[in-house]
Amino acid sequence: MLKKYDVIVIGAGSVGIPIAQYCARDGLSVLVIEKEASVSQGDNKHAIGGIRATHTQRAKILLGLRSIEIFSNWKQEHGDDISWVQGGYCYVAYTQEHAQLFQNNVKLQKSLGLNIDFYGPEKIKELVPGINSDGLLGGTFSPSDGNASPLLAANAFYRDALKNGAEFHFNEKVTAIKKNGTTIETIITDKAEYSAKWIINAAGGYAKEIGNMVGLDLPVAPTSHEAGITEPVKYFLRPMVVDIRPCTDSVFGNSKNFYFYQNNEGQIIFCITPDPPYFGHDREETSRFLPQIAKRMIQLLPRLKNIKVRRTWRGLYPDTPDGAPIVGHVKEIDNFINTIGMCGQGYMLGPGIGELISRLLRDKLTDNDQIILKELSLYRDFGIIEQLK
């Protein structure tokens, strides 16, 4: 017998888990189908843990602010320690162009409720002890941003979803989606068949393949990014430090921005954006990553030169052409909703998106929800690039 649900979510990752969590909490029957053996086994476990509302698009700022509320209050409200640290984000400026960009961004960010300001070099040197002051013009600091453990958070959200009645089927892969006209009728997996009033595509790096099953060509292309973690050292660095300057490196490859922070165990966690991007599903670490990012980190913060790196890893960013997610209904299919193209920010935006989708399905949208859905529509102009993507 075909089992029916209110909602079927494809993917138990950074976005799929919160969707299941909030839909189940709000009384909807939910099934999550995940091809891996448990939650958070795709690219959620590759996230470095940063959580910010410091974006330059209204939709992402609003989602980020709500997600920060959820992360920061989780232990108090639910009892789970997800290693939340409210250390803030610090974007450093070494060029007039970047200083002006950050100051312009602050106006929009503050208007939407983000606690952020642009500061001169002395404040930045206080926030990032030992930072290279040669040419430093200042930067922004947003103290409400922070970090938490992706694995601890995912499992806490998963337990909450289970408590509220959501079902999770692991080691089960969606193989086909059957439509009847403009409505999805059946989800077919390698184990069973299901039906639901709503189908949510939360498949991360494989969102495009799910779209293909229903005849949609979704503009999501995964790219590989590498990250690493050091040995623990005495705590000295509170914020996530972000340097958006591009770098030319003829030996190990060019890069765009890089970023790092010290977690609550004293380890430095770091990541870089390669230029050009590495498209595809490759998750094998490379020999070029560590010398590429080490050079940049030591130039910015020389005191890191003797710290030992424990390991590196590689994960996928499901990228869109403009650096913003795709969230909402599609015109071609009545009961299909995308929550895809997170561009490496699914972890930090996931809780806000989970609540939004629950309201969308229950016709409870707020004015801010309408703004978010309009800006993150599949049918937007993808030529306008998000500045701090």
Least confident of 45-49, 188-192, 197-201, 335-339: 45-49
- Which pLDDT does position 186 carry in this prediction? 97
Domains in the chain, start-ordered, CATH in brackets? 3-73+150-220+322-375 (3.50.50.60), 86-144+221-319 (3.30.9.10)
DSSP structure string for 176-193 = EEEEETTEEEEEEESS-E
Percent of residues, the chain, with pLDDT higher than 70: 100
Q: What is the C-alpha separation between 252 and 254, in angstroms, rounded?
A: 7
Q: Integer distance in angstroms from the first to the last C-alpha of the chain?
A: 45
Q: What is the pLDDT of residue 387?
A: 76
Report the DSSP beta bridge partners of residue 139: 92, 119
Quick one: pLDDT at residue 174? 98
Residue 42 has pLDDT above 90, yes or no: no
pLDDT at 385: 78
Alpha-carbon distances of 360 from 91, 186, 198, 378, rounded to whole Å: 34, 22, 11, 16
DSSP 64-95: HHHHHHHHHHHHHHH------B---EEEEE-S
93 bridge partner residues = 138
Percent of all residues in the chain with a pLDDT value above 90, rounded to a whole number: 96
Task: Give the pLDDT confidence of 181-203 residue by residue, as tens digits.
Answer: 999 999 999 999 999 999 999 99
The predicted model gives 90-94 an average pLDDT of 98
Whole-number pLDDT of residue 44: 86
Least confident stretch, 18-22, 89-93, 278-282: 278-282
Burial of 145 from C-beta contacts in 10 A (0-12 / 13-18 / 19+): buried
Q: With bands split at pLDDT 50, 70 and 90, how would you rate the model's confidence at 240?
A: very high
* Pairing verdict, β 221-232 and 267-274: antiparallel
Q: Please, are residues 187 and 1 in contact by the beta-carbon 8 Å criterion?
A: no
Q: What interhelical angle do 96-111 and 58-78 show, nearest 10?
A: 60
148 closest CA partner among 284, 52, 43: 52
On average, the pLDDT of the chain sits at: 96
pLDDT at position 1, please? 72
Tell how strand 183-189 and strand 174-180 pair up: antiparallel
Alpha helices in 227-377 (DSSP H): 289-300, 346-361, 367-375
pLDDT (mean) for 47-70: 97
Q: Could you tell me whether strands 278-279 and 221-232 are parallel, antiparallel, or unpaired per DSSP bridges?
A: antiparallel
pLDDT (average), residues 226-234: 97
pLDDT over 80 (residue 121): yes
What residues contact residue 107 under an 8 Å CB cut-off, 6+ apart?
none
